[in-house]
């Protein structure tokens, strides 16, 4: 039964399925909807935040494909929804190859179902905190050639690694596996945009999220997010608010007047 585990107990909420719920997807269960609603009651803009982050992902993938990248490693990919990485990339590079990685078995299962029969895309279950397991996974090695440029996508995932050094330790081996011409894409929940009158609500929202899921989140400042790009060639305009990174005409307009309210920082950098 949907939403019920093998023992008959309700399935707990996960970050991937809450995100899917906020995007208006169908791959979520009662616990996900309850947790998503609890946070949205404090922050009614949460669904708009999800759409804005997804729009950044589409723009970044298109930019990488137009820059010659033909293969992508999407870590923390979540539940497949419209505008997936392989769809966007292949609108530019028809033979693009993609591996989706997520810790949530439901996200991986849904991905595999959608990708059934696609020889140039796959999905694996792995944890961003174990980069060597990702890099050494047979499916990753089958689909991606690390002797050629790869687009490493870390979109809305690193804020689920609360410890700063652990987050850096996760990213470092992934970056080291990339040859020149590769790109690193990051979006991250930001502490910079939190107003004084929002701080109490943020604390409550974090508490609700952390009690409802197994994946607590952690806000970071712009300098902390910029650390993920150290030594790389940052693509203009640098690490900016989500709506500010190469905006497109079909973007959501929720934060057009005040990009900082998007609560997310984003950046893209090239491996030299």
Query: What is d(CA 70, CA 68) in angstroms, rounded to the nearest whole number?
Result: 6
* Token pair for 39: 């946070």
More confident call, 65 vs 218: 65
What size, in residues, is the chain?
272
Half-sphere exposure at residue 175, Cβ-oriented, CA atoms within 13 angstroms: 22
Q: How confident is the model at residue 221 (pLDDT cuts 50, 70, 90)?
A: very high
Query: What is d(CA 185, CA 74) in angstroms, rounded to the nearest whole number?
Result: 9
Pick from 12-16, 85-89, 211-215: least confident: 211-215
Quick check: 272 pLDDT over 50?
Answer: yes
pLDDT in tens, 6-50: 444 566 787 778 878 888 888 888 998 998 898 788 777 778 888
Mean pLDDT of 241-270: 94
Quick check: 3 pLDDT over 60?
Answer: no
* pLDDT above 90 coverage of the chain, percent: 63
Identify the pLDDT of residue 206: 55
Query: What is d(CA 243, CA 247) in angstroms, rounded to the nearest whole number?
Result: 6
Chain mean pLDDT for the chain: 88
Q: What one-character-per-residue DSSP string does 187-251 give?
A: EEEBSTT--GGGHHHHHHHHHHHHHHBS-----B-HHHHHGGGTTSEEPTT-SEEGGGSS--TTS
Nearest to 234 by CA among 181, 271, 264: 271
More confident call, 169 vs 211: 169
Pick from 45-49, 79-83, 205-209, 226-230: least confident: 205-209
Q: What one-character-per-residue DSSP string does 46-61 give?
A: HHHHHHHHHHHHHHHH
Domains annotated for the chain, with CATH where assigned, are 15-270 (3.40.50.150)
Q: How confident is the model at residue 200 (pLDDT cuts 50, 70, 90)?
A: very low
User: To which residue do tokens 């500010």 refer?
Assistant: 244
Helices 30-42 and 15-22: angle between axes, nearest 10 degrees: 70
Beta bridge partners of 189: 264
Nearest to 110 by CA among 10, 47, 29: 29
Burial class from Cβ neighbours inside 10 Å (0-12, 13-18, 19+) for residue 189 reads buried
Pick from 20-29, 174-183, 196-205, 219-228: least confident: 196-205
Mean pLDDT of 244-263: 92
Mean pLDDT of 262-272: 95
């Amino acid at each position: 039964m949907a939403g019920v585990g093998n023992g008959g107990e309700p399935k707990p909420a996960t970050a991937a399925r809450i995100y899917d719920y906020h995007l208006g997807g169908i791959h979520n269960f009662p616990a996900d909807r309850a947790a998503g609603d609890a946070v949205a009651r404090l922050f009614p803009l949460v669904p708009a935040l999800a759409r804005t982050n997804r729009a950044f992902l589409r723009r970044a993938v298109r930019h990488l494909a137009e820059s010659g990248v033909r293969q992508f490693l999407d870590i923390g990919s979540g539940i497949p929804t419209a505008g997936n990485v392989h769809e966007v990339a292949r609108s530019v590079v028809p033979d693009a190859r993609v591996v989706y990685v997520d810790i949530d078995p439901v996200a991986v299962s849904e991905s595999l179902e959608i990708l059934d029969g696609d020889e140039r895309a796959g999905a694996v279950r792995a944890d961003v905190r174990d980069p060597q397991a990702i890099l050494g996974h047979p499916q990753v090695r089958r689909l991606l050639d690390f002797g050629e440029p790869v687009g490493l996508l870390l979109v809305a995932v690193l804020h689920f690694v609360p410890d700063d050094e652990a987050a850096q330790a996760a990213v470092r081996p992934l970056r080291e596996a990339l040859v020149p011409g590769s790109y690193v894409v990051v979006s991250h929940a930001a502490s910079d945009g939190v107003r004084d009158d929002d701080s109490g609500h943020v604390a409550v929202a974090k508490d609700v999220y952390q009690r409802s899921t197994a994946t607590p989140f952690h806000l970071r400042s712009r300098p902390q997010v910029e650390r993920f790009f150290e030594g790389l060639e940052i693509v203009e305009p640098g690490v900016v608010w989500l709506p500010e990174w190469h905006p497109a005409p079909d973007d959501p307009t929720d934060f057009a007047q005040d990009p900082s309210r998007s609560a997310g920082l984003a950046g893209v950098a090239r491996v030299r």
